[in-house]
Structure 1
Amino acid sequence: MGSLIFAGAESGTDTDTGTGTDTDADTDTDTDTDADADTDAESVHEHLRRAPSHVARRRVRLFLRMLPHARRNGLFLALTTLALSTGCGSSKEWAPPSVGGTIPAAPALPDEKSQTSGGSGLAELEALAASSGAAATEENKPAGPSPIPGSIPTDIDGKLAAHAACSQKDCALPGLFPANPSIDIQKKSPAAVWSHDIATAGSSVSFPKHGGLDLLGVVVKGSVKLKGTEAKEPGPGGGPWVAFRAPGAGVSVTASEPNTRVIFALVSPGDPIGDAAAALRGKDAPKLAWKDRPAPLQVVDLNASKDLAWGGGAMHARMGIEGDAQKASLGLLMASKDAPVPQHKHDGSWEILIALKAEGTAQLAASAEAKDTAPKKLSDGMVVAIPKGALHAWEPAGTKPLIALQIYVPPGPEQRFKKLAEGVSAPSP
């Protein structure tokens, strides 16, 4: 772009309807031969200083605001001509920029009345400024993660790497967990998680009483009924995406239809879940068998829970079991295929992430003391236990969304999803 030269004679009196009357009888000539945008801006600022009316000053300010967009979009010459010809002051004489190429013809000069009231010349400049600025803003706006629907997908298989099956009438679990080597009970984790198939309608998976634990579950396929060991009749239940909680365990989960699949999670208040299981075989086992259930059975339909969305619809959460009245919270987290979760931590809670659908890398620190994270590939059916205070992050592969159940032991971090959905700044998921 060639250099911008302002050269003009200004004389006469302008009436400023907002601030009074200014008189300028000086004749000034400015020459600016630097093609740099900063020098252009200095020339416009100088012209603004000499502009004798509020209308003229307004035009020059508009011109200055548009200058970066005009230079880039090839509108520079036209804007220069338009800005000067519509009257920087009341002068009826002006000199076009001394640049190479064809100079557009100057628009007709608005009369004094139209200048004072913001007539056609000013309106044209304002409209051009608005359209150019809007286009530039849209062009420079960075693309964010793609949004996804807030409804729970219907194609979730729900089979975890840790899996068990019940093909009998009553599949009792006296040791709390199935006798299956694929169920990896971490020594320090406060939770054990697995999926369980119940092949026949009317068959049950039964858990013993343990006053120090809560049993959590989510129905993925089929439907179930819950019956506490203290009850004479079956209690609440439901179909896909019904979450339930049995405080103190001591419950039978009975399939209402064949080929039912349930994800179970046994959680302690924070002690290693392996130690809690071992206590049932120790001398204190009778003390764990409560007479009165610590709290009633609880059932929540995740499909009916409020969709908490943020990040332009790229992130969603649904609350299931929440609050301080239980040992753990349970909810559903969904993120689009290109939505990362930045590094963060939960100082007071463990996080158990149950990946129902996933493809990407989880960056995980081994403990709260560790300053570095290590990558762990995460795919469908994997479970990750993240210690209190341990740094972690999510890096999607860009091929499929993340659909995961989240358990926090103890509850608390899940409440930030409500703030995020309200547009309030909060830590990452």
Structure 2
Amino acid sequence: MTTPRDLSPSRRIRANGDGTVYQRKDGRWEAAGYVLAPGNTRKRIRVYGTPRKEALAKLTEKIATSNRGVPVPSAQGSVSTYLTYWLETVAVHQLRENTHTRYTACVNQHLIPGLGKKKLAKLTAKDVRTWLNQLRTTCQCCARSIDAHRDQPRCCAAGTCCSKRLSPLTLAYIHSVLKSALEHAVREEEITRNVARNVRTGTPRPCRFEPLTADEARQFLAAARNDGLFVLYELALRTGLRKGELLGLQWGDVDLSAGTASVRRTLQRPQTGGLTTLPTKTRASERRIALPSECINSLEEHRKGQEGEREAAAGGWNESRLVFTTLAGGAIDPANLNRGFRSLLDRAGIRRIRFHDLRHSTATLLLEQGVELVVIKELLGHAHIGVTATVYAHVRLRLQRDAIDTLSAALEGPTDAEAARIDGEEPLTCAALVR
């Protein structure tokens, strides 16, 4: 009688569901079995190994993963193919147009050249980490042949590398785009795990900004008083609204009698079209804020001035219902606003800052006046209070130092006059105390 032990290794009997293992004509061992596939179906897979134990171990691992309810990856294409599919059919419906444009540039310039030829199902965390390390130390002029398209080469084409490397913030952005793409692949059961999440790139330092001081802010408002967009600049500095939120503000959003303004939209210029109105940056950005009394008076005068411009334009007026418009009633281009803002800074003799730094100036001045962080978070429309705390950490540190100095003064002990008062003796005074 023949027993399984007497059979050759290639003919040993395996239990039902364990798959089959046999030797091929080329000498390799092949193991095949059924595992769970996407859509709650079963799929027969094949793995190979030089010794029999290697093929058997691979098959056993896949069957064990399948028994835990994890389907086998269905991705057979390359990373490049999947990223193209993700951009054209998934991300285009989930991202804003400008964000999608930046994602596309990131994929075409960095992700596809670096990882595009690898199989999506076989991509590992080591591959991602090695590629990011190489990207961190590679000159972009040489890698992307930027120097070859210049009229006067000054890098690799000229024989001297300029060492133009990516900043840590750009590397973190590229890494986040890859994580987003692979996360969707996991949700669609194309791969079993997001290997990019296992790679640590470090937290990049936020961009430093230099907000206006209180004296500079007063000087800025005084210089802007004669400007046609004075109300816009005043509203930006006193409320911290974003540039797009200011340009997209409509008269229907402003209640001057109640002294409030509702932020519902933002005005932007996508790279593929003209000016367009979009929803706010996040759900938290859609908010209702209180208007300072100075802004209420300025807006009332601004509305009267806009009525005069409408009458002067007659039939050429563009009824956009926007608070801040051109002389013809149309929307103001953000680029034109930036140019006017820089000219105003030059006329006022104030150092060059970005328009967005007016928003930072609002939050910084409020913090220095002792306003609570949660109030500033609601005013600025941040999604989480941690964002507010992180961006303005340097201001909070200065306030902490003032608090510590106050405590230190209290711990040093009372003065002679205070000590005499504690002992029950009245200090010498020039006049009686009035309560």
TM-score by length of 1: 0.17
Relative contact order, CA 8 A, sep 6+: which one is greater? 1
State the structure with more CA Rg: 1
More helix by share: 2
More strand by share: 1
